[in-house]
Amino acid sequence: MDNVLFTESLSKTYAADSIEVDAVRNVDLAIAPGEFVSIMGPSGCGKSTLLHMLGGLDRPTAGAVWLRGERVDGLSEKGWALLRRRHIGFVFQFFNLIGNLSVADNVELPALLMGMPARQARARRQELLADLGIEDVAHQVPGRISGGQQQRVALARALVNGPAVLLADEPTGNLDSASAREVMDVIRRYHRAGQTIVLVTHDPRVAAAADRVIHMRDGAITDESRLGGARDSASVASLVRLEV
Amino acid sequence: MFRLIFRTAVANLRSRRLNSILLGVIIAGGAMSLALATGLRANASHPFEQTADATNSADVHVLAFDGRNDLSSIVQMPGVKQVSGPREFADVEAEGPPETAHLTLVSMAERPQLERPQLSAGRWVEPTRGEVVLERSFARARHLHVGDWLRIAHAGSLQRLHVVGIGITAARGPFPDFEPAAAWVAPSTVAAAAPNPSRRGRELDLRLADRDQSAAVVTAIQRRFPPEQVAAFDWREVENTVTSETSGLTVILGSASLLALLAAGFVIANAISGRVLAARRDIGLLKAAGFTPGGVTGLFVAENVILAFVAGVIGTMAAIPVTPLLLQRSAELLGTPTPSGFGIQPVAAGVLGVLAIVTLFTALPAWRAGRLRVLDAIRLGRTSVSARPSRSAELAARLHLPAPAILGVKDAFAARSRSVMTILSLMLTVVAVVATLGTEATYRRVVGDSSLRAKPYDLLVESDATAARTRALLALHRGQFTNPVTIAGMPVKSPGTGLDIQARALGGNYAARPYAIRQGRMLAGPGEAIVGRGLLDKLGLQVGDRLRLTAMGHPLTLRIVGRYIEPDNDAVAAIFDQRSLPVAVQRRLRPDVGLTVSTVAGARRLQTALERESKGSAQATVTDDEVKQERNSVRPIIWGMDVLLLSIGLVNLVTTMLLGIRERRRDFAIFKSIGLTPHQVLGAVTAGGAVLALIAVAIGVPAGAALFKAVVVATNPTDGPDLGTTPTWWWLLLIVPGILIFTTIAGLFPARRAAEVQPAEALRYE
């Protein structure tokens, strides 16, 4: 099966005051369609940088990225923007919703950007918000709703164009445990429906929801474990902890 | 604590060196604009007093037209404290171009203490013959500069005088309204110009113990001497002339400088408050380190005041050499000394004004920010937060605007106070442009219709010759003009009130080219009069009432049939048929002749021919030229102020947008993360600027029209409302694309900065 996302020797080096820091080193990664992959590691290990490079928010220093069979690491900024619009959904730790647009407008915005007719964008937004159980906050501004609700809005915004891959950067990192559980339930549900997901976290319980867990340390992949079959999150968490 | 605040402030400034330099440049520019605008304002207010102070002007001026009268008795008069003169003078004619003008050569080997002309260029005359210092308004009107040669004629002989200096005086109003103009020469030059001593006059200037007694002293002198031999006038008479001639310009310059002051203040306020608001996280960290809200406020005030003081001093120092260059023209038009730029007011405005603005606009946002909860202030991942959805963005979405435009419209109000300041600053620019367009439209209308200047003719021929000789002269050019109308100006009085009225007695077919009647009708024959609004107001009369006058000693009763637009003498004026006067009075009239000529070029040709053929006895004026000359004088000043305001508006817009972009880098990163291309981010920022500009236009156009109306009324309280012309709608409509282009250009650089934001960098929080 062709991979949705594939990287080859992906590297990122930051240079400041003639000191070079390797944030990501020779990462080879293959994400299959419908796969849910967690990237774990301590703070500063380069997992967010890797995720940003997968979504074109950051440029690799070396290596290659393929998305849906096309090499994309050399795309212009505009090319990446168009690609993100159509095929990549981003969810961030701090939600990053647009503060003075309503929830409804936040969700519709990427659809409108992609050229979806307003009526269709509205229908899609209503469908998603209902699905995520937040249709009653559609006309609120993000600042007026809870963190869990904000992250669900961010998910709805990321999913509105039916992306090929959902990139989630610590999506539960800024939430209490109940809200984190709700958000992970949603992510799992979309994964079950066939959504390809790459999630960055340092929480083993969150990582345990994935099909595969990739461990990073000092910018490089140090370990990879496939979590197949039926499992409950607690048992997987203990397994992951042992591995680390 | 004070020492800690000071040291931290200096450290902060050093650590953000580029940012501090940029802000310093903006403050220095603002200080320079403030100093310039204040200098202009000071120069435009009370022009006569400035000139009088600069020249130590006398309270009473006495002119003896020949050598027959002994002026020593005047010097002995009670109340006279100081005397300058008597000095000899000779009236001569200065050769054109454009035409011959009367000039008084005053003998002044050295400048006296009292009534001391101030040199604005060149040097004073040497005792040797043939040098002249010209009064500035005369030099300007004749395009004469230091080093040029002036040709004068006296009693048929021609001489050349070398212009060695240009000076100003408060003893006379500006040429050509005040003629003859003054020129100062060595005694030998006066003697050479008028060899016969009996043809030389003498002038005497008096300083009184009590300046308010000047009118009484003038009356006393007038009682002692026959008016054709000795004339006396006081400082008030000159002040009235100067003030009435410069009042329009004073109001225009005053309004423009006020707009510039406000706009410069906005630039500084905008930049400084934006800097404080952008330091939200720093404020949180300071509070976490133990700073109180007062300490935070003090720190920011100290930091910005240090910067403002340095930048304010630099900006003000830069304004000092620039001020005389920029304000020279306005000073020339107002007849005031050229501002040095080192006055107390500009320096105070440039330094203290800037410090006051900076302190206020630092303290307010810093105090507000100082009250933030520490955790809220230092929380990472903060994007723009709002309590309710952006209504403008909702409107944009309903209008089905493209998504970048919706985001831009929303962004325009992300920082509301800054948006309001930018709108106000842009609005001032629009106000200035609308007022300028109004001035242009009014001039265009007045140039196109000479009846609005109470001169419904194209060429006015004034002649020293008899009426018969003038008629004979005109007969030579029959066919080059139509509809000759005689106009005899005369002072008349209202017998009950003693009010001096400017009157004109008309002859010929005056109905063919009527005056600009605003109420009632044009006069149709003897016994009727049309009057100015000032006369109606002063005498409490209305159209239809009877007007009793004393004209040249004869009582005259006329029926007021209409009110016309009269720009002179505060519209205390009346026009009637000369046949209303007794025949004896009619015979004494020496009327001018107004001619209708089909083209301005034709009028100029006829003017040249008549002046040449009359051998100097007739002087012709093309009415079109008068207003054009005035317009050409005022235009560079008004346009210069527009350029200044546009520049300030441009700086303000760029500053605001740059600060907004720095504050909201994270938002732009989010835009990019959801798929906005760099061009779309650029479009969003530009759309935001355009929204502010459109609001500024929507408010600025009516505000500008109102300001223009107020200026017109202040300039000419009587006929201003009738003369003031609103710019045509399509000119006003052109402001919309004009200001949009302006904001797009202003927004290009900040928008590019926004488009270049690296999302990973802006969103990094690992």
Check if the beta carbon of residue A168 is closer than 8 Å to that of residue A38.
no
* Residue-level pLDDT at B277: 67
Do residue B513 and residue B364 come from a single domain?
Answer: no
Residue B236 lies in a domain: no
Do residue B577 and residue B652 come from a single domain?
Answer: no
Do residue B306 and residue B344 come from a single domain?
Answer: yes
Over range B268-295, report the average pLDDT: 73
Which tokens belong to B637?
Answer: 């000043």
Whether the link from the prior residue into B727 is cis, omega within 30° of 0, is no
In this prediction, residue B559 has a pLDDT band, given cuts at 50, 70 and 90, of: very high
Q: With contacts defined as CB-CB under 8 Å, which chain A residues touch B413?
A: 100
Q: Could B388 and A98 be called an inter-chain contact, meaning their C-beta atoms sit closer than 8 Å?
A: no
Structure confidence by residue, pLDDT tens digits, A172-200: 988 898 999 999 999 999 999 999 999 99
Percent of chain B whose pLDDT exceeds 70: 87
Which tokens belong to A141?
Answer: 């501004």
C-alpha torsion angle, residues B88, B92, B97, B99 (rounded to 10): 130
In a 3-state reduction of DSSP, which class is residue A42? coil
The residue among B673, B691, B752 with the most chain A CBs within 10 A of its CB, best to mutate, is B673
Decide if pLDDT at A115 tops 80. Answer: yes
Residue B257 lies in a domain: yes
Check if the beta carbon of residue A183 is closer than 8 Å to that of residue A134.
no
In a 3-state reduction of DSSP, which class is residue B12? helix
Do residue B535 and residue B672 come from a single domain?
Answer: no
Decide if pLDDT at A31 tops 90. Answer: yes
Task: Give the DSSP H/E element, type plus range, for residue A22.
Answer: strand A19-31
> To the nearest whole number, what is the mean pLDDT of chain A?
88
In this prediction, residue B473 has a pLDDT band, given cuts at 50, 70 and 90, of: confident
Which residue of chain B has the CA closest to A161?
B674
Q: How far is B277 from chain A (nearest CA, A)?
A: 17
Do residue B144 and residue B35 come from a single domain?
Answer: no
Count CB atoms within 10 A of the CB of residue B683: 21
Structure confidence by residue, pLDDT tens digits, B75-103: 888 888 888 878 888 888 787 666 677 88
Instruction: List the single residue in A48, A78, A99 with the smallest CB-CB distance to B679.
Output: A78
Q: Could A109 and B403 be called an inter-chain contact, meaning their C-beta atoms sit closer than 8 Å?
A: yes
CB pairs below 8 Å between A and B: how many?
A: 127
Decide if pLDDT at B689 tops 80. Answer: yes
Q: Could B759 and A143 be called an inter-chain contact, meaning their C-beta atoms sit closer than 8 Å?
A: no
In this prediction, residue A228 has a pLDDT band, given cuts at 50, 70 and 90, of: low
Q: How far apart are CA B170 and CA B350, in angstroms?
A: 30
Q: With contacts defined as CB-CB under 8 Å, which chain A residues touch B676?
A: 81, 113
Which residue of chain B has the CA closest to A167?
B673
> Domains in chain B: how many in total?
4
Over range B594-603, report the average pLDDT: 89
Q: With contacts defined as CB-CB under 8 Å, which chain B residues touch A141?
A: 386-389
* Residue-level pLDDT at A233: 46
Q: Could A157 and B674 be called an inter-chain contact, meaning their C-beta atoms sit closer than 8 Å?
A: yes
Residue A94 has phi, psi (to 5 degrees) of -100, 30
Check if the beta carbon of residue B163 is closer than 8 Å to that of residue B144.
yes
**Among B288-302, B333-347, B751-765, which is the least confidently predicted range?**
B333-347
Residue B128 lies in a domain: yes
Instruction: List the single residue in A44, A57, A174 with the smallest CB-CB distance to B760.
Output: A57
Q: How far apart are CA B740 and CA B218, in angstroms?
A: 60
Q: Could B384 and A110 be called an inter-chain contact, meaning their C-beta atoms sit closer than 8 Å?
A: no
Do residue B616 and residue B715 come from a single domain?
Answer: no
* Residue-level pLDDT at B643: 80
Decide if pLDDT at A242 tops 60. Answer: no
Domains of chain A: 35-56+82-243 (3.40.50.300)
Q: With contacts defined as CB-CB under 8 Å, which chain A residues touch B393?
A: 100-101, 105
Q: With contacts defined as CB-CB under 8 Å, which chain B residues touch A157?
A: 674
Over range A130-145, report the average pLDDT: 90
End-to-end CA distance of chain A: 30
H-assigned helices in B115-234: 136-141, 187-193, 214-224
Do residue B440 and residue B363 come from a single domain?
Answer: no
Do residue B366 and residue B396 come from a single domain?
Answer: no
Which tokens belong to B22?
Answer: 């940029």
* Residue-level pLDDT at B33: 77
Which range, A145-159, B247-261, B347-361, B411-425, has the best average confidence (pLDDT)?
A: A145-159
Do residue B177 and residue B257 come from a single domain?
Answer: no
Over range B311-337, report the average pLDDT: 76
Please return the burial class of B70, using the count of CB atoms within 10 Å of its CB with bins 0-12, 13-18 and 19+: exposed
3-state secondary structure string, B355-424? HHHHHHHHHHHHHHHHCCCHHHHHCCCCCCCCCCCCHHHHHHHHCCCCHHHHHHHHHHCCCHHHHHHHHH
Structure confidence by residue, pLDDT tens digits, B410-437: 777 776 777 887 788 788 888 888 888 8
Structure confidence by residue, pLDDT tens digits, B132-181: 999 888 888 788 888 888 888 766 666 788 899 998 888 877 777 677 88
Residue B75 lies in a domain: no
Q: Could B674 and A100 be called an inter-chain contact, meaning their C-beta atoms sit closer than 8 Å?
A: no
Percent of chain B whose pLDDT exceeds 90: 8
Structure confidence by residue, pLDDT tens digits, B9-48: 777 777 777 777 877 887 888 788 778 777 777 776 667 7
Structure confidence by residue, pLDDT tens digits, B633-647: 677 777 777 787 777
* Residue-level pLDDT at A210: 93
Higher-confidence residue of A242 and B283: namely B283
Instruction: List the single residue in A101, A113, A174 with the smallest CB-CB distance to B393.
Output: A101
Domain end position, chosen among B327, B352, B379: B379
Decide if pLDDT at B360 tops 50. Answer: yes
In this prediction, residue B220 has a pLDDT band, given cuts at 50, 70 and 90, of: confident
Decide if pLDDT at B718 tops 70. Answer: no
In a 3-state reduction of DSSP, which class is residue A95? coil
> To the nearest whole number, what is the mean pLDDT of chain B?
80
Domain end position, chosen among B330, B358, B379: B379
Structure confidence by residue, pLDDT tens digits, A56-93: 989 999 999 999 999 999 999 889 989 998 999 999 98
Residue B187 lies in a domain: yes
Q: Could A57 and B763 be called an inter-chain contact, meaning their C-beta atoms sit closer than 8 Å?
A: yes
Do residue B576 and residue B683 come from a single domain?
Answer: no
Residue B738 has phi, psi (to 5 degrees) of -60, -50
Q: How far apart are CA B692 and CA B676, in angstroms?
A: 22
Decide if pLDDT at B474 tops 80. Answer: yes
Structure confidence by residue, pLDDT tens digits, B449-459: 778 878 889 89
* Residue-level pLDDT at B250: 63
H-assigned helices in A160-217: 177-192, 204-207
Q: Which chain A residues have any C-beta within 8 angstroms of a chain B C-beta? A: 43-44, 47-49, 52, 55, 57-58, 77-78, 81-82, 84-86, 90, 92-102, 105, 109-110, 112-114, 118, 139, 141-144, 157, 174
Q: How far is B28 from chain A (nearest CA, A)?
A: 33
Residue given tokens 């003693």 in the structure block: B498
Which residue of chain A has the CA closest to B669?
A57
Decide if pLDDT at B380 tops 60. Answer: no
* Residue-level pLDDT at A243: 40
Residue B636 lies in a domain: yes
Q: How far is B404 from chain A (nearest CA, A)?
A: 8
> Which amino acid makes up residue B623?
T
* Residue-level pLDDT at B247: 59
Decide if pLDDT at A241 tops 60. Answer: no
**ipTM, 2 decimals?**
0.84
Do residue B251 and residue B368 come from a single domain?
Answer: yes
Count CB atoms within 10 A of the CB of residue B416: 10
Decide if pLDDT at B253 tops 80. Answer: no
Do residue B46 and residue B128 come from a single domain?
Answer: no
Residue B68 lies in a domain: no
Check if the beta carbon of residue B720 is closer than 8 Å to that of residue B446.
no
* Residue-level pLDDT at A239: 41
State which residues form the domain around B12.
Answer: 1-57+242-379
The residue among A54, A93, A96 with the most chain B CBs within 10 A of its CB, best to mutate, is A96
Domain end position, chosen among B208, B228, B263: B208
Residue B217 lies in a domain: no
Q: List the Cα angle B28/B33/B38 in 5-degree steps.
A: 125
Which residue of chain A has the CA closest to B757?
A57
